[in-house]
Amino acid sequence: MLNVITIPVTLYEQNARLLIDESSKQAVLVDPGGDVPKIMAKLPEDVTLTAIWITHSHIDHVSGVGDVIEHVSLPSIEVIAHPEDTINRDNLPLQSQMLKFPYSGEFSVTQPCVAGDVVSVGQYRFKVLHTPGHAIGHVSYYCENTDNQYNAPLCIAGDALFKGSIGRTDLPGGNHQQLLASIRDELFVLPPETVVCSGHGPNTTIDSEKKYNPFFS
Ligand SMILES: [Zn+2]
């Protein structure tokens, strides 16, 4: 089974997520936005963290990446993000300064990912969906396997889509029309029962957002 553990971190209540393959005892960490000790406390001792997956490099999503790499003392840990996300990453010192948000330091992406790529945690394969609009180089990660606590396909949607809302588009690189198109063309085509794990707030489903999200109804 794939166990999804959601850990809201920092004042921004950003959802860091551990995805744990219970049989291979491998895990990935999506968007460690800070409070790294709080995140690592949720990682069982017999589970190995193999990768960090980034939806986009706004500071509230990646401020803890450097700390995680230090904490696990695994220089070989993969860090996965879209190539166009580099522009956000280069801005992190500025984001930190403007938002007075602590930043644990620079990190490198070891494995750039683009639309259609497949990334894995143990036996679970997630397809990379390119979902820009909230941020350049924003991606979502989709797993059609339903062997998880929701008994449904999963989409880790970052700040593209929220329960009853969508990501803000007033930050550098934001584009409202592009975000609407990303959601319509990349997310709303997923099976309706797909559980959407957003970067902030509660989970939702594709079906629920298609029916009730005010930006689309
Ligand atoms: Zn963001």
Q: Can you tell me the mean pLDDT for 90-98?
A: 92
Q: Can you tell me the mean pLDDT for 55-71?
A: 94
The structure tokens listed for 215 are 């930006």
CB-CB contact of 18 with 165 (8 Å): no
What angle (nearest 5°) sits at the alpha carbon of residue 126, between those of residues 150 and 217?
65
Q: What is the pLDDT of residue 75?
A: 58
The structure tokens listed for 148 are 């998880």
Q: Which is nearest to 5 in space by CA: 135, 150, 140?
A: 150
User: pLDDT band at residue 104, thresholds of 50, 70 and 90?
Assistant: confident
Q: Please report the domains of the chain, with CATH numbers, ordered by start residue.
A: 2-212 (3.60.15.10)
**How many Å lie between the centroid of ligand 1 and the Cα of residue 60?**
7
For ligand 1, a single-atom ion, the residues with CB < 5 A are 58, 159
Q: What is the pLDDT of residue 105?
A: 81
**How many Å lie between the centroid of ligand 1 and the Cα of residue 143?**
22
The structure tokens listed for 81 are 């993000």
Q: How far apart are the first and last CA of the chain?
A: 35
Q: What is the pTM for the complete model shown? A: 0.97
Q: Which has the higher per-residue pLDDT, 73 or 82?
A: 82
**How many Å lie between the centroid of ligand 1 and the Cα of residue 9?**
14
Q: What is the pLDDT of residue 73?
A: 65
pLDDT in tens, 9-53: 999 999 999 999 999 999 999 999 999 999 999 999 999 999 999
Q: Can you tell me the mean pLDDT for 105-124?
A: 95
Q: What is the mean pLDDT of the chain?
A: 95
* 3-state DSSP of 50-103: EEEECCCCCHHHHCCHHHHHHHHCCCCCEEEECHHHHHHHHCHHHHHHHHCCCC
**φ/ψ (deg, to 5) at 163:** -60, 110
User: pLDDT band at residue 72, thresholds of 50, 70 and 90?
Assistant: confident
**How many Å lie between the centroid of ligand 1 and the Cα of residue 178?**
15
Q: Can you tell me the mean pLDDT for 117-146?
A: 98
Q: What is the pLDDT of residue 192?
A: 98
pLDDT in tens, 163-193: 999 999 999 899 999 999 999 999 999 999 9
Residue 179 CB partners (closer than 8 Å, separation 6+): 131, 132, 133, 134, 160, 166, 167, 169
CB neighbourhood size of 102 (10 A): 12
Q: What is the pLDDT of residue 203?
A: 98
Residue 20 to residue 49: CA distance in whole angstroms:
9
Q: For 31, left (φ over 0), alpha (ψ -120 to 50), or beta?
A: left
